[in-house]
Structure 1
């Protein structure tokens, strides 16, 4: 069962994600993970597109935007309970709750609910 603090952290992460432009989110993810990793996350072959998104020169397709926003929201949630370095490591590391897949790869594979559930479990100390 979630505590009031955990629910508030999720609400903040959700609100923050909704308030950011896709350019802001692409820039943030690019800075944290690299253009190449964000391109894989988004499901595109040309990593330079990520830089274009970050500059606001164009926007990703809908499915890519959903993946980017999901990654940002989950990152912000984990960061709220830890710090940015731990959140980055958690996002790129193997996760037993995701069949040893990284949360970033699981998001790239459209397993959004599973990743959010894994983040909640991690923050609750279950994993």
Structure 2
């Protein structure tokens, strides 16, 4: 969550969870997209596979890891691309 939320400390994640600090709209969109994708994949795969999918090179994403795209690229372009790759993985394999 810290990686996708573009923070270096898990302390900030704890502050988000407790309501002490609010997420920016951009960070919230990135985390919501990742949560949606995780749920989609979890319907068909185990948690270890889902975790590996986020971290592994993905041929549909030019061999970039989905988590890296969600962190580094604009969410309006990265989000749809990563969702499409997740759907392809979940439904085609």
Shorter-chain TM-score bucket reads 0.7 to 0.9
User: Which residue number corresponds to residue 122 of structure 1?
Assistant: 89
Q: Which has the larger radius of gyration?
A: 1
Q: Point out where structure 1 has 5 or more consecutive residues left out of the alignment.
A: 1-37
User: Which residue number corresponds to residue 113 of structure 1?
Assistant: 80
- Cα distance in 1, alignment partners of residues 36 and 15 from structure 2: 21
2:64 to 101, 104, 124: 101
Q: TM-score, normalised by structure 2?
A: 0.84
User: Which residue number corresponds to residue 32 of structure 1?
Assistant: none
The structure with the largest helix share of the pair is 1
Please list every run of at least 4 consecutive aligned residues from structure 1 whose deviation after the TM superposition is greater than 4 angstroms. Answer: none
Q: TM-score, normalised by structure 1?
A: 0.64
- Cα distance in 2, alignment partners of residues 45 and 83 from structure 1: 27
Q: Point out where structure 2 has 5 or more consecutive residues left out of the alignment.
A: none
Which structure ranks higher in relative contact order (CA pairs < 8 Å, sequence separation ≥ 6)?
2
- Cα distance in 2, alignment partners of residues 89 and 79 from structure 1: 12
Q: CA RMSD in A?
A: 1.5
Count of residues in correspondence between the two structures: 89
